Amino acid sequence: MEKIILDVDTGIDDALAILLAVESGRFDILGITAVNGNVPLDYVIKNTKKVLKHTGKESINVYKGASRPILIEPFHEYSVHGNDGIGGALSSIEVDSDDVADMFAPDFIIEQAERHQGELTLIMVGPLTNLALALRKEPRLAKWIKQVVVMGGLVSEAGKGNTLPTSEFNMYADAEAAKMVFHSGIPLKLVSLDVTKKTFLTSEDIEKLKGTHYYDFVKECTAVYRKYSEENYGVNGCALHDPLTVGVVLDPTLVTTASYFVDIETKSELSYGQTICDFGNLWNKEPNVEICLDVDSERFISMFIDTLKNTIN
Ligand code: BDR
Ligand code: CA
């Protein structure tokens, strides 16, 4: 089984990513690391623990990570994810956000990467603060990790960001951290808005889960997101940004990829957090990121639904 650490800022689609990772049965999940992002860190931890409890896998440890970005002030995404981050779902599940594993998330990443050199995959679906802090403390991490698969940015679709016209949320929420990660030499795959915006879980898709353990949760937690998306993009659906990132680790053939040099803008007010891909190699630099160019969305949505249907819960 593939050893992974999942880094989350739970978040509606983070919650769905956790379900996919857990229910795939294909991962040895060493731990889940939490980072400030969609909502403040305490909510991220609470939501993550609630989701794990709902899957029956509370034994997976949650590690508390960075409570704020490296340099800028925290920025949250309540309009998309609701006030609590998971659209008010799982409100009856009691968890204690202080009940976390006794290690800072970046230290846990370093410890596990050293122990499992060449074997550990990091799946990062929030701002990259935890990984940036880990790399700052232990630069050899870049050599120890098998691969880092990141949900973030947009490369071909310039101007179609979701936080600024140029910028995607995870990159915008801590662009300094993203820059440190992109310049670290760590093996990176970027699952950007270019492909994640093509993987929409519609209300019709959700009905296919009727009668299963996850139907109510998926329906309820995505309601606020689907409403936002209907008002803004005319589709009653939830973009599966973070689940697709997990999906790409489960089945890399879901996406077509190519390698380029990508850098992160950190100085501009207009385009803070932009992922700039040097398609024409004008900077004459070695590729540092494998980007995703296209996705087989239908196959991925089926994988997602089938995985959640075929559980023993
Ligand atoms: C990303 O930002 C968050 O709002 C989502 O959870 C996802 O990780 C999409 O831009
Ligand atoms: Ca996320």
Catalytic machinery residues: 241
pLDDT in tens, 256-292: 999 999 999 999 999 999 999 999 999 999 999 999 9
**Ligand 1 atom closest to Cα of 173?**
2
Return the pLDDT at 312: 65
At residue 212 the predicted structure's pLDDT band, cuts being 50, 70 and 90, is: very high
Could you tell me the sign of the dihedral formed by the alpha carbons of 48, 129, 251, 155, in that order?
Answer: positive
Domains contained in the chain, CATH given: 2-309 (3.90.245.10)
Question: Whole-angstrom distance between the N-terminal and C-terminal Cα of the chain?
Answer: 21
Ramachandran sector of residue 85 (left: φ over 0; alpha: ψ -120 to 50; beta: rest): left
pLDDT for the residue numbered 233: 81
The pLDDT score that the predictor gives to residue 73 is: 95
Packing angle, helices 241-250 and 12-24, rounded to 10: 20
Which residues surround the ion ligand 2 when the cut-off is CB under 5 Å? 9, 11, 14, 125-126, 242
Cβ of 265 closer than 6 Å to ligand 1, yes or no, is no
Ligand 2 center to 171 CA (angstroms): 11
**Which residues have C-beta within 8 Å of that of residue 102, sequence separation ≥ 6?**
none
- Give me the residues paired with residue 262 across strands: 277
CB atoms within 10 A of CB 116: 17
Q: Is 151 in the pocket of ligand 1 (CB under 6 A)?
A: yes
What angle, 0 to 180 degrees and rounded to 10, lies between the N-to-C axes of helices 297-309 and 241-250? 90
Side chain identity, residue 153: G
Strand partners, 294: 256
Q: Is the CB of 182 under 6 A from ligand 1?
A: no
Q: Which of 190, 214, 203, 223 is nearest to 88 (CA)?
A: 223
What does the mean pLDDT of the chain come to? 95
